[in-house]
Structure 1
């Protein structure tokens, strides 16, 4: 772990205490939208809390440029990689092998951090970065001693035995112990402990702060339909084919199913699969409207009568933030993360889950789930408002860390 005495290291210099605060986010983003959207929400809150603070997000997301970022928040796009069905990775566009791509990304990360000279580095989920690409930068920062480092973890990572093996393989325990001043868990401890099963030292566990979930708000207003609708969202959409198929099958099987639906495919559900879904949507004669991607999906959340969604972290935060009755259809591969989150949320009365083993993934089960949405309790009736303090806690912790340098 960094020297927290506040003195500059012999190899570096102390930051100018009068300069505006600078925060860097690392968001590896090899798949989906989750890491980028979480980093964007955090950067927005931290810069809004202090008119002098700026933030840069390092991201591998191929669609980072399709999002709007608030004033004093920018992003640097790292060369993208794609995960193959066998679990290996390939470069998305450059014709480099994965080792060459990782080395390029690693060099870009270190150059950006050296030039930007952040007061605080917030790393999302991966203590060592994608394939260890962050380790050279973490070692450089530790030797320099002028930047605080935080590891940010979502509320659920995976089942404990799988996570333990993954962290052992990546050397993540050692990196967490050595390089991170604090660990922020973006959820309440009363809901789930993502570090259970990890062999973290008592000293490192003492540096864990449970922030609560990250509240979402409408940042870019957009028009919504005048008629009641159910919002259908598989998040980024890359693994949403089965859920979308099930919802469309429900509307096809029951011509009386209401309200109508707005389906947001997500940017990663495309090609022939999207074309086939569009044909089915057209045949439903307006009972389902579909769009590919909406960067202002918060507005659609706020105006919906209910939500049918997968169980990703950001979507769950939106369900709670906009107090939406929701049916969650969690994925179970390659991780149990979404199932664990949805199961625990159902236990707490926050949402309902469509469970393959209990309910069956059939059109009839989806019809029943949508019909029951109006009779569900809202998350607020189960105490959701008390779970959404994450951004406020992050602002306080960031201020305390930077001030103590």
Structure 2
């Protein structure tokens, strides 16, 4: 473990829909404090259930008022009595005050370059004057090139990123996908992009989930669950249609599954001997690690966990309002890493039942992959962080000697 004296990293995770951003930041934070003694990491999160997760020593979070993203792509305050603009102003103030008080050496922003509705822009400008290293972290896939280019052009993000950020970390290998493919990126900005690789996950067997199953089972997960109704409905319909589908299956609905559908699925699951349904588990790594195979929607975190624990997987990607999951899953299927059904195919109980029956006998991703896919993202990030602090220390020594 490398010693860093009073080093501080601040992370921003806007968290408007699902659990992906917080879980990614938490994974990176835990890896960093494992590798560096004396380092503290603080995560600014808008997740309504951030407190449901365990955080290691020297990792903590600051909760900002929650905003949710609707299926049409629009945002609204979680507290319906507070106007969205007022909520964003509160979030902006807390973010700025946290940065001023915490005084980070590195500020890592997850996915949204200027934050939700620009709420991080002022903090970025302030930290730039403090010589804080500003880093933008991007998923392997953001959206379709055309949609992303239009969004970034509308928000004038490329010149802002170019002016503010010191580095861009892409949480995937270059030979899998380039999230900014087809965009007009100046070379000066391209030179700051580092493809770190996928973020490998570990199962902490000392903290076993209470929901871990005995024996072989298929795990069905929708992540946060807010957009997972169609996937669960397709799996349930397959079991109800085909009585010979008897492989034990654990379905995790997710904390944001709508209440009406949650009640419906629990009732239907009670009538199926092979199916068990739970609402949520904060230790999904444990459930995936012990599963025989996984059925999911193709979000970034679950995809990394499928590869990390080398599980046969059937993915039914979300296709709206973003095409991120569709593109990731198509690329993974192209490399023969996973099986894929489009949402309209998964709606057919015959096709879904056939896919579920075949899944436990499928080869693991490592046995099927056509290319070597790097899973060393956490190691790469630690190397970059160590490189930064070493260079910063050398600069400080130089400034002292000149004085």
**TM-score if structure 1 supplies the norm length?**
0.92
Q: Does 1:294 align with 2:281?
A: yes
- Residue 81 of structure 2 corresponds to residue 105 of structure 1: no
1:151-184: per-residue Cα shift (whole Å, max 9, x none)?
0000000000100111112222122101111100
| Structure 1 residue 305 corresponds to structure 2 residue 295 | no
> Contact conserved, 2:8 with 2:40, CA < 8 A, in 1?
yes
Displacement of 1:270 after TM fit?
3.5
2:255 to 231, 247, 267: 267
Does structure 2 retain, via aligned residues, the 8 Å contact 1:323–1:380? yes
Shift of 1:316: 0.1
Q: Which residue of 2 aligns with 1:45?
A: 31
The Cα of 1:239 is off from its aligned counterpart by 0.3
Equivalent pair of 1:47/1:72 in contact (CA under 8 Å): yes
**2:5/2:39 contact within 8 Å kept:** no
State the 1:298 CA deviation: 1.0
| Match for residue 327 of structure 1 among 314, 328, 349 | 314
Choose from 326, 348, 365 the match for 1:379: 365
Alpha-carbon distance change, 110 to 230 in structure 1, aligned in 2, over 3 angstroms:
same
Which secondary structure state, in structure 1, belongs to the residue aligned with residue 199 of structure 2?
Answer: coil
**CA-atom RMSD in angstroms:** 1.6
Cα distance in 1, alignment partners of residues 257 and 70 from structure 2: 16
**Counterpart among 53, 73, 79 of residue 87 in structure 1:** 73
Per-residue CA deviation, residues 6-48 of structure 1 (Å, 9 max, x unaligned), is xxxxxxxxxxx97321111000001110000000000001111
Does residue 277 of structure 1 match 2:265?
Answer: yes
Tell me which residue corresponds to 2:104.
118
SS at match of 2:223: coil
Tell whether 2:196 aligns with 1:211.
yes
Return 5+ residue gaps in structure 1 as ranges. Answer: 1-16
Residue in 1 that maps onto 2:183: 198
Q: Which residue of 2 aligns with 1:148?
A: 133
Consecutive unaligned residues of structure 2, counting only runs of 5 or more, are 393-403
Q: How many residues align?
A: 386
Q: Give the 3-state SS of the residue equivalent to 2:38 in structure 1.
A: coil
Alignment of 1:11-30 (within 5 A): 19-30=5-16
Task: Note if contact 2:14-2:45 (Cα within 8 Å) is conserved in structure 1.
Answer: yes
**2:375 pairs with 1:388:** yes
Contact 2:234 2:346 in 1 (8 A): no
Contact 1:128-1:171 at 8 Å conserved across structures: no
Aligned to 2:401: none
The equivalent residue for 1:227 is 215
Shift of 1:361: 2.9
Q: In the TM superposition, what is the alpha-carbon distance from 1:85 to its structure 2 partner?
A: 4.3
1:355 Cα deviation (Å)? 2.2
2:154 to 163, 169, 172: 169
The aligned counterpart of 1:76 is 62
- 8 Å CA contact retained: 2:72, 2:321: no
Asked if the contact 1:177/1:200 (under 8 Å) is kept, the reply is no
Residue among 324, 332, 339 paired with 2:326? 339
Aligned counterparts of 1:18 and 1:348: Cα–Cα separation in 2: 40
